[in-house]
């Protein structure tokens, strides 16, 4: 599998106090640990098990994921912005690997 590729969609501008819609997707196969390889050996579980979004260092959305989540997990949520800043997105995989990206928003 190629390295998971995170993608996010955040508005570039917003008014103070506006609630903005945020969309995220990460390309990941999400192996549940239930399948077997061609030799009949179990394929180890390897999923994105946690997602966190923070804005200017404060968590605005977080969730845990279980093996039943689909490959390439897509999340959509809202956040209220009072000031300009940076959204930081972090996905954590079994074994501790982390994948992250950021997106700036200007309030004015």
Q: Count other C-beta atoms under 10 Å from residue 78's C-beta.
A: 11
Closest CA to 17 of 87, 81, 108, 107: 81
Query: Is the model's pLDDT at 66 over the cut of 80?
Result: yes
Token pair 């990206």 is found at 101
pLDDT bin (cut points 50, 70, 90) of residue 34 is confident
Query: Is the model's pLDDT at 3 over the cut of 60?
Result: yes
Question: What is the longest distance spanned by two Cα atoms in the chain?
Answer: 59
Q: What's the predicted TM-score (pTM) here?
A: 0.89
Query: Is the model's pLDDT at 69 over the cut of 90?
Result: no
CATH class of 5-107: mainly beta
Domain ranges of the chain: 5-107
> Could you give the count of Cα atoms lying within 13 Å of 101 in the half-sphere of its Cβ?
12
- Kindly state the average pLDDT of the residues 10-29: 96
- Whole-number pLDDT of residue 73: 94
């Amino acid at each position: 599998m190629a390295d998971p590729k995170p993608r996010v969609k955040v508005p570039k501008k917003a008014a103070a106090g506006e609630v903005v819609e945020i969309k995220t997707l990460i390309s990941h196969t999400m192996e549940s640990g239930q399948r077997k390889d061609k030799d009949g050996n179990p394929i180890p579980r390897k999923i994105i098990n946690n997602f966190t979004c923070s804005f200017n260092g404060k968590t605005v959305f977080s969730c845990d994921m279980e093996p039943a989540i689909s490959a390439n997990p897509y999340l959509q949520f809202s956040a209220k912005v009072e000031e300009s800043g940076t959204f930081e997105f972090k996905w954590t995989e079994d074994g501790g690997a982390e994948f992250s990206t950021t997106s700036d928003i200007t309030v004015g």
